[in-house]
Structure 1
Amino acid sequence: MKNKSYSGIAIFILFFILMLLGINLNKDELEPEQKSTWKELKSIELMAILENEMKREDSGSSQTSTEDLPDYTQMFPDLYTVYSTPVKMDKGKKIAYLTFDDGPSKNTYEVLDILEERDIKATFFIVGSAINDKNEATLKRMVHEGHTIGIHTYSHMCNEIYCSVERFLDDFNTVYQQIYDITGERVNIYRFPWGSNNGYSKGIKDALMEEMERRGFSCYDWNVSANDSVGNPTPYSIRSNIKKDLNRQDYPIILMHDSSINDLTVKMLPDIIDMIQEEGFEFDTLDNRVPYQFQW
C-alpha cells in the first residue's frame, strides 16, 4: 500500500513540474493575446494526463516506466481528455439512449428539429469528413441544445483507420481537433466504425482500446440496432428491429444513422420515439451511461 501511495505522489510531483515547465515552454514565441489561452490549454492537457494516470494506478493498470510505453503514446500530446465515467445506473428507471452515426448531413437538421420538438436529448457520433461549411452550424446546435457529440473517426474507412494504432490516432486526432475548433467542446466518447469487435481491427483492438482509455476516452457500442443502413430497410423493418431487442435491455443503446442516405430513418423517428416511450422508457445521452462494449 505504501509503495502505491509513494508512486502516486511521485506521479503528481512529476506532472506538477511538467506543468510548470510546460506553461513557460515557447510562450515567448506567442503574441500577448495568445499567451493566456495557450497557458490554459497546456495546463488542461497536463492535468488530463495526470488524472488519467492516477485513475489507471488506482485500478492497478498503470505502467510505471516510460520505457515500457509504445512509441505511439508520444503522438499528439494534446489528444487527451478527462471523462468522469459513470459507475452505476439508476435501477429504478428504464432509460433509452438514441444514438446517430455518420453525420452531420442534410438529415441531421431534421433529426434535431424532431428532438427539439419532443424535448429529447441524443448522442451523435460524428464523421469528420462529413463536416463542411454548410453543416458546421449543426454541431454548434447540438451543443447548444444539450446533445452529446461523440467521435466516429474522420474517414470511416476500414483500410485506413485500422492499419495500426498510429493510423487510428492520426485519423481520430483530426476529427477531435476539428470538432473542438467548431464547438469549443472536447469530445470524450467515441464509437468504432463497425463496432469494437469488427474483423478489421482485430489485430490492434486491445492495444488501441488501452491507448484510448489511457488518453481518457471511453468507447460505446450498441445493444439495439435499427439496421437502417443494411440492405433495403423499410418502415416495418426499422421499427421491428428496434422493438424486438428494446425490452431485453434496461438501458438500451439504440443505433441509428443520420447520413444523407437515411431519409427513411428520419421519417420514422417520431414513430420510434412514440414506441419507446410507450414501453416506459425515458431518454438520456450516453455520457450519463456506464460505457458498453460488445462481448467477444
Structure 2
Amino acid sequence: MEKQSLTIIAAFMIVIMLVNSAFAFYTDRKIRKITNDIQSTRIQLQEKDKQIKQLNDAVTEKDKQINFQKDEIHKLNKLLQSKRGKWAEALAMRGRITGPKIAYLTFDDGPGPHTYQILQVLKEHGINASFFVVGAKAEEQPDLVRAQFQAGHAVLPHTYSHKYSEIYASKDAFLNDLHRVEHTITSILGFAVPKIFRFPGGVTNAVASRAVMTGIVKQLHGEGYIYADWNASAADTAIGRNKDTELGNILNASQDKNEVVILCHDIQPDTHTLDMLGELIKTMKARGFIFKTFRDISDEEIYRLSAVGTINLNLEKLLGN
C-alpha cells in the first residue's frame, strides 16, 4: 500500500514537472514572440520616424520655396507699382500737353430727395455722372437706381449703412458692409458692379485707425478693387453754404487741373447743389473739360487719375512700399 502511494506521488510529481516544462516552453515562446514583435515595432517606428523627418524636411524646403516665391512676387509687385506710377506720371504729363481735360462729376450718399431732378439736369446738359450709393437707401428706391443706370450713369458702391463707427470698427466690418452694398446694387441692376467704390469720408477719413485702414486697403488691393477719392469738393455738407459758395468751391479747386473728380451729394434736403449744377456744367465745358464717369473710364484715364492722387490715394504709403 505504501509502495503504491509512493508510485502515485512520483507520477503526480512527474506530471507537475511535465506541466511546468510545457508552461515554461510556452511562456518562453510567448516572450520570444512578444520580444520579436516589440523589436519589429521599434524598427517600424524608426522607419516611420525617418519618413516623418523626410516629410518635415520636404515641408521645410517647400516653405522655403514658397517664402522665396512670396518675396519674389512682392518684389515684382513693387516693381510693377513703380512702373505703373512712372507710366501714370508720363500719361498725366502727356495729358497735360495733348490730352483732353476730363471732369468726373460724382454724387455720394444717395439716392436722395433731389436725385431725380439731378438726373433731369444732367440729361438737359448731355452729360453723365457717377453715383456712389448707400445700400439702405438704394433698397428704398430701386426703380430710381435702375433709372440712374439706364440713363448712362455709373452706379457704384459707397457703403450700406454709412455708420462710420460701425463700418470702420475692423477690417471685417468694413468688408461686410462693402459686400452688402455690392450685393444690393447687383440685386437691383441684375449684374455685378465694377470693383470701383468710394470710402465713406475718403481713404484719409478721420474715423478708421491706420491699422484698420491698412488692413482694408491690402485686402481690397489684392482683390483688384479701385477706390476713388476727389480733388474738388462742393463742400455741400458745410454750415452756411449756398449754391454760389458750392459752385465757387468746385471752380476754384478745378483751376490748373486737367483731371478733376468733383464731390457732391444728392442727399441734402435743400436744393443748393441742384440749383448750381447747370452753371457748373456750362462753366466746366467752357474751360475745355469733357465729362466722363467711372463706368466708361479707360485704363489710361485710371492711371492719369492715379498720378494726381484721386485714384488709390496713399496706396503705396498704406501698403508700406
Task: Tell me the TM-score normalized by structure 2.
Answer: 0.63
Query: Unpaired segments of 5 or more residues in structure 2?
Result: 1-64, 67-72, 81-86
For 2:231 and 2:176, the matched residues in 1 are separated by 28
Equivalences for residues 175-214 of structure 1 within 5 A? 175-187=181-193, 188-201=195-208, 202-214=210-222
Q: Residue 115 of structure 1 is aligned with which of 116, 122, 126?
A: 122
For 1:57 and 1:170, the matched residues in 2 are separated by 30
For 1:150 and 1:61, the matched residues in 2 are separated by 30
Corresponding residue pairs, total: 221
For 2:270 and 2:250, the matched residues in 1 are separated by 16
Identity, in percent, stands at 31
State whether residues 222 and 293 of structure 1, in contact with CA within 8 Å, keep that contact through their aligned partners in structure 2.
Answer: no
Query: Unpaired segments of 5 or more residues in structure 1?
Result: 1-5, 8-54, 63-85
Q: In structure 1, the residue corresponding to 2:156 is in which secondary structure?
A: strand
State whether residues 225 and 254 of structure 1, in contact with CA within 8 Å, keep that contact through their aligned partners in structure 2.
Answer: yes
1:137 aligned onto 2:143: yes
Structure with greater proportional helix content: 2
C-alpha displacement at 1:61, in angstroms?
9.1
For 2:281 and 2:197, the matched residues in 1 are separated by 24
- Distance change in 2, residues 1:248/1:60 (3 Å): same
Question: Greater Rg, structure 1 or structure 2?
Answer: 2
State whether residues 109 and 267 of structure 2, in contact with CA within 8 Å, keep that contact through their aligned partners in structure 1.
Answer: yes
C-alpha displacement at 1:260, in angstroms?
4.1
For 1:120 and 1:205, the matched residues in 2 are separated by 34
For 1:260 and 1:252, the matched residues in 2 are separated by 22
Alignment-derived partner of residue 254 in structure 1:
262
> CA offsets per residue over residues 78-128 of structure 1, 9 Å max, x none?
xxxxxxxx9656712111110000101121111111111211011100011
For 2:109 and 2:269, the matched residues in 1 are separated by 10
Alignment-derived partner of residue 59 in structure 1:
77
Structure 2 counterpart of 1:200, which letter?
V
Task: Tell me the TM-score normalized by structure 1.
Answer: 0.68
Equivalences for residues 264-279 of structure 1 within 5 A? 264-279=272-287
For 2:127 and 2:188, the matched residues in 1 are separated by 23
Alignment-derived partner of residue 47 in structure 1:
none
- Distance change in 2, residues 1:199/1:61 (3 Å): farther
Alignment-derived partner of residue 158 in structure 1:
164
For 1:57 and 1:144, the matched residues in 2 are separated by 43
- Distance change in 2, residues 1:235/1:164 (3 Å): same
Structure 2 counterpart of 1:155, which letter?
S
